[in-house]
A = this chain, B = another copy of it.
């Protein structure tokens, strides 16, 4: 389909193109790939979430571009794409998690949460008068049964479960690295290493540091824990060593 024909169908979430595509959703995927990457790795001991932060000035506080968010004791999210849209999705996810805890006394399980978030996303792709969300989320956590789970949402509103997955910029390069090096029996610690190595595939070493990389683990034992700047520094240093 040429550009002119495409333009006939790409200005509304309530339109299919003659070949059955919804262009606004595909453009929202472009918005996701314009942002920095986020990575999730599921291990036997818990889920690892890694987010890359783009500092537009050294005077910016690194935490304020933070893309990893604690939703509950055993539940975290990483985002990619249009930042303001991502914030709204994370807020929604947190409200769902906290609502469940309030009502039922225990946290929502990761799959249910992923489905509720994608329900909201899907509605924005079918009802007119609004645009799709230009953001994707990784939702990682430990279910009440002690099972680590990792889900990714996309702008069409589809939830998928993953062993390891990347969203955002350089997604393809990072995903290929994950596919090559993932193992089912990773420890949490090995999961952190795998995620950082994958990120290093798409980014120059000098651009990786405690300010631009965030790491969180959601462990069966210990729950949501954010790695300190020192820990990140030391893990990145190990990478360089390993590289040589």
Contact = CB atoms under 8 A, between A and B. Distances in A.
A18 B87 CA distance: 22
Contacts of A203: none
| Best-buried of A18, A28, A31, A115 by chain B (most CB within 10 Å) | A18
B131 A16 contact: yes
A28 B126 CA distance: 12
Contacts of A133: 126
A33 B21 CA distance: 11
A190 to B, nearest CB: 15
A8 B11 contact: yes
Given A18-B30, A83-B156, A134-B16, A161 B128 contact: no
12 contacts: A14-B130, A16-B131, A16-B132, A17-B27, A22-B134, A57-B175, A60-B161, A61-B161, A63-B161, A84-B122, A87-B119, A87-B157
Nearest to A156: B84
Nearest to A165: B59
B163 A61 contact: yes
A34 B164 CA distance: 26
A interface, size bucket = 35 or more
A6 B12 CA distance: 16
B87 A131 contact: no
Contacts of A9: 11
A158 B85 CA distance: 9
Contact of A130 (B33, B128, B178): B128
B127 A22 contact: no
A58 B182 CA distance: 10
Contacts of A24: 15-16
A22 B131 contact: yes
Nearest to A121: B84
Contact of A128 (B29, B129, B163, B165): B129
A107 to B, nearest CB: 20
Given A9-B11, A127-B129, A164 B59 contact: yes
